[in-house]
Amino acid sequence: MNLFIASVQRDLLVHFRHPSEVLNPLVFFIVVISLFPLGIGPEPGQLKEIAPGIVWVAALLATLMSMDSMFRSDFEDGSLEQVVLSEQSTFIFVLAKVISHWLLSGLPLVLLMPLAALLLFLSEAGIWALTLSLLLVSPTLSLLGGIGAALTVGLPRGGLLVTILVMPLYVPVLVLATAMVQAAEAGSDTIGYVYWLLAILFGSVCLAPIATAAAVNVATDQ
């Protein structure tokens, strides 16, 4: 428990001192969303229809941008190896890393959702559904992305590889989340999607750190 709290505290402190690492993916997110009306055409009806997809793809890309740094700085200064060698549970450490990553990248994205939805003319129901779906899914994205980040942490140019490794795992979540927003736009009930996304979230919380901890053990064994 001490390791968990200490880890989260340290990560939050380090990132508050260097806010650009946190702000860059968010700016990227807004810029990507702004590019679509310029590329496709500013007509509200057209943008409204594809808005869930655009926002979600931009959110995924922004999350993947920040994923690479999850373990890299700890790996490079040797503290990852220290944690693995200590008696502390690697599972708890990985969970702490994922949670601090989510607090620094997923949660700000959720707060930016209403702005993005407004830029793309989503209705009120759509804005609620979009924010809720990202709130449910962003921890899952951090958890699954942690697997990719841990697998590639020893590699010099691992950044793009994380995307290739983790994208297939993100596909079901993306499909469910966009379907939820589209259902809300059409006026129908979204509680079924909420249950599915929650189920995937809870499953990932239990299982993803096992794979991430195994990958961290592999990375520090050299």
Residue 165 within binding range of other proteins, rule CB under 8 A: yes
211 touches other proteins (CB under 8 A): yes
By CB under 8 A, is residue 205 in contact with other proteins?
Answer: no
- Is 159 a binding residue for other proteins by CB under 8 A? The answer is no
Site string (136-155) toward other proteins, x via CB under 8 A: -----------x---xx-xx
Pairwise CA distance, residues 94 & 58, whole Å:
26
> Contact between 172 and other proteins (CB under 8 A)?
yes
- Residue 13 touches other proteins, criterion: CB under 8 A: no
How many Å apart are CA 57 and CA 32, to the nearest integer? Answer: 9
Decide: 143 and 200 in contact? Cβ < 8 Å: no
Question: Which residue from 28, 158, 159, 205 is in contact with other proteins, where contact means CB under 8 A?
Answer: 158
DSSP for 64-101, written as a single string: HHHHTHHHHHHHHHTHHHHHHHSSS-HHHHHHHHHHHH
Is 129 in contact with 180 (CB distance < 8 Å)? yes
| Chain residues in the site for other proteins (CB under 8 A) | 147, 151-152, 154-155, 158, 161, 164-165, 167-169, 171-172, 175, 211, 214-215, 218-219, 221-222
